[in-house]
A and B are shown apart, each in its own frame.
Chain A
Amino acid sequence: MSVVRPALVLLGLAAACVLGWWALAVPGGRDPMGVAARAAFRSVDETFDRWRTGSGPDYRAAAKEIPGADVRRGRTLVRTSGCGTCHAIPGLPGARGTVGPSLEGFSRRAYIAGILPNRPGDLVSWLMNPPRHAPDTAMPALGLTEEDARDMAAWLYTLDGIE
Chain B
Amino acid sequence: MNSTLDIFGSQTTLAQAGLGAERTYALTVAMSIAGVLLLLLIMVLIALAWRARGGGRHWWVIAGGIVLPLVALSGLFVASTLTLRAIAAPPPDDALTVEVTGHQYWWEIVYDPEGRALRDANELHLPKDRPVRVLLKSADVIHSFWLPSIAGKMDMIPGRTNETTLTALETGRFRGQCAEFCGLSHPLMALEAVVLSESEFHEFLDDLEDEARDAVTPFERQGRDVFLNAGCPACHEVRGVAEGGRLGPDLSRVGGREALGAGMWRMNRGTLAGWIADPEAMKPGARMPAYNHLSGPDLRAVAAWLESLE
A98 to B284, CA, bound (A): 12
Which residues of the other chain, B, contact A86 by a CB distance below 8 angstroms? 270, 273-274, 277
Residues of B within 8 A of A135 (CB): 297
- Is the Cβ of B300 less than 8 Å from the Cβ of A131? yes
Q: Which of A82, A92, A96, A137 contacts B268 (CB 8 A)?
A: A82
B278 near A140 (CB under 8 angstroms)?
no
* Interface 9-mer from B2-10, B30-38, B154-162: B2-10
Q: CB of B105 within 8 A of chain A? A: no
Contact across chains for B296 and A99 when beta carbons are under 8 A apart? no
A138 contacts chain B at the CB level, 8 A cutoff = yes
The answer to the question of A8 belonging to the interface, with a C-beta cut-off of 8 Å to chain B, is no
Residues of B243-293 contacting chain A, CB below 8 A: 260, 265-266, 268-271, 273-275, 277-278, 281-282, 292
**Are A99 and B297 in contact (CB-based, < 8 A)?**
no
Q: CA A161 – CA B103 in complex, angstroms? A: 39
Total residue contacts A-B, CB cutoff 8 A: 71
Q: How far is the CA of A85 from the CA of B266 in the complex (A)?
A: 10
Chain B residues touching A, majority SS: helix
Q: Would you call B17 an interface residue if the criterion is a C-beta within 8 Å of the partner chain's C-beta atoms? A: no
Check A83 for interface membership: any CB of B closer than 8 A. yes
Chain B residues lying within 8 Å of A79, measured Cβ to Cβ, are 2
Q: Which A57-108 residues have C-beta < 8 A from chain B? A: 79-83, 85-86, 92-94, 96-99
* Nearest B residue to A96, CB-CB: B281
Do A85 and B275 touch across chains, with their CB atoms under 8 A apart?
A: yes
Measured CA separation A131–B269 after assembly (Å): 13
- On whether the beta carbons of A93 and B3 are closer than 8 Å, the reply is yes
For B266, what are the chain A residues with a Cβ–Cβ distance below 8 Å?
80-82
Q: Is A31 an interface residue (CB 8 A)?
A: no
Question: Is A9 close to B, CB under 8 A?
Answer: no
Assembled-state Cα–Cα distance A138/B302 (Å): 11
User: Shortest distance in angstroms between A69's beta carbon and chain B's nearest beta carbon?
Assistant: 21
**A39 at interface, CB cutoff 8 A:** no
Contact B297 A85 (CB under 8 A): no
Residue B304 lies at the interface, judged by CB distance under 8 Å to chain A: yes
Tell whether, in the assembled complex, residue A138 and residue B299 are in contact, meaning their CB atoms are under 8 Å apart. yes
Cβ of B109 < 8 Å from any Cβ of A? Answer: no
B229 interface hit (Cβ, 8 Å): no
Cβ–Cβ < 8 Å partners of B260 in chain A: 82
Give complex CA distance A80, B7 in Å: 7
Q: Verify if A142 is at the interface (C-beta below 8 Å from B).
A: yes
Residue A46 lies at the interface, judged by CB distance under 8 Å to chain B: no
Given A97-B278, A98-B281, the answer on whether A82 and B300 have CB atoms closer than 8 Å is: no
From known contacts A97-B282, A138-B300, infer whether A85 and B3 are also in contact, taking CB-CB under 8 Å.
no
List the 10 closest A-B pairs by CB distance, nearest first. Answer: A85-B274, A138-B296, A82-B271, A86-B274, A82-B265, A99-B277, A140-B300, A98-B281, A140-B269, A85-B271
Known contacts A82-B270, A135-B297, A138-B295, then 9 further A-B pairs from the complex at CB < 8 Å, ordered by chain A residue: A81-B266, A82-B268, A97-B281, A99-B274, A99-B281, A136-B297, A137-B296, A139-B270, A142-B269
